[in-house]
Amino acid sequence: MHRPDVREFRAPGTSVAPGEVLVPTEIGDPVRGPLPSPAAPLVGGTLTRKGTSVGYAPVGPCSDPGHDDGGATVFVATCAQRDGSTAAVAAAASPADRVAVAAARSAVDEWSAVFATRRLLAASSPWCPGATQALTAARDAADGRRTVYVCGQLAADPAALADLTERGAVFVGSLAEVPDGSAVLFPAHGVAAGVQAQARARGLEVIDATCPLVARVHAEARKFAERGDDVLLIGQDGHAAVPGIVGQAPDRTAVVSSPGSTAGLQVNDPRQVSYLLQPGIPVEDAVPVTAALRSRFPALHAPHPDGFCYAASDRAETIRAIASACEVMLVLGSADTPDTRQLSALARASGARAHVVGAPGDILPAMLTGTATIGLADSTTAGPELAGQVTTALSGLGPLGVTRRHVSTDVVGAPAWPA
């Protein structure tokens, strides 16, 4: 796509205060009529970063700047859309404010320079079926009761958690904070066996939203411990699922996070050692740890592989597949969170430039220069509307084809995920 001309008009019916730039969400082009401006947040973000006060509003019919019709000075560049229609990038300022006029012209220049036909490769949701099922259970419980207590961390984005709080959910760290006679929900990562027993003993209404795969690991931990095995959990200290698994047999279970951590393990009988794989970590990450355990305990017993959780593996492979096919990856969500950092590192390792985007206005023209394919991935801190907002904004820069890519692992012959 060739670089379009930036045209200057007057908007007789529009006035802009000195010191401000108005970014049109729709512009009345004198030739084509009203044109949408999906990329308005991108233009506004550029101006805001430069210290300019920004407003957003539709701008009515424009006219030739040579006509002394009053109104704002407007700069407009247009580009084709995927459906053959036309979109605009525009900015308006008071003609008496030379600084604002220059800022408006510069912003439109910058964004019109990156007009192009592009492809957007979008990753699937960061939430696994277990987390989604637990969130639905929490919403149903909150809607059907005055108050429901959620015991522990619920895997959901900040907006969803805020919505649950508004519905009447109360998040607590232990059963001690749950009043007698109340309803308590156990999230997807589950809880220790002692917590389950305490809830039953107190007569609490229990809503168990434990992920079926996590529940299966709980059952295997109890089975291994009951037959006299020491249980070694391959997992990450601090992960929400770990306390619940360890809590099935706390006196016989230890967490192993790396091959190096296997050296100091002490067991009662090296012939009676079993390992488990924590749901929520990539299955392939456990391979070197398993090898190290087998070198120490040749009789090591393994869990049934049909119960492995492949959600984290599939997500990582999805990011790698997208990043290897694009020049730049936009990672949506809050910067400096573990999940955002991990996604960015995966993208860079696969050859893409990675940028964290918390809002459409965070995108810079330089990020898109020379790009034909853009990757898009939600972190767990991204709101559910952000991906759509970013996609809409990017569509205002030229024809945009959108493809969703998802790597999925199916365990052949395993029971289907519960409806």
Task: Pick one of 3.90.550.10, 2.60.120.10, 3.40.1010.20, 3.40.50.880 as the CATH number of 121-125+311-405.
Answer: 3.40.1010.20
In the prediction, which pLDDT does 3 show?
65
**167-226: pLDDT as tens digits:** 999 999 999 999 999 999 999 999 999 999 999 999 999 999 999 999 999 999 999 999
**108-150: pLDDT as tens digits:** 999 999 999 999 999 999 999 999 999 999 999 998 777 999 9
In the prediction, which pLDDT does 418 show?
45
Indicate where the chain has its CATH 3.40.1010.20 domain(s).
121-125+311-405, 213-307
In the prediction, which pLDDT does 342 show?
95
Question: The pTM is what?
Answer: 0.90
**385-405: pLDDT as tens digits:** 999 999 999 999 999 999 999
Indicate where the chain has its CATH 3.40.50.11270 domain(s).
129-210
- What class is the 129-210 domain? alpha beta
Query: Tokens in use for 340?
Result: 């955002």
Q: Which residues of the chain have pLDDT under 70?
A: 1-3, 67-68, 414-419
Q: Which fold has domain 213-307?
A: Cobalt-precorrin-4 Transmethylase; domain 1 (3.40.1010)
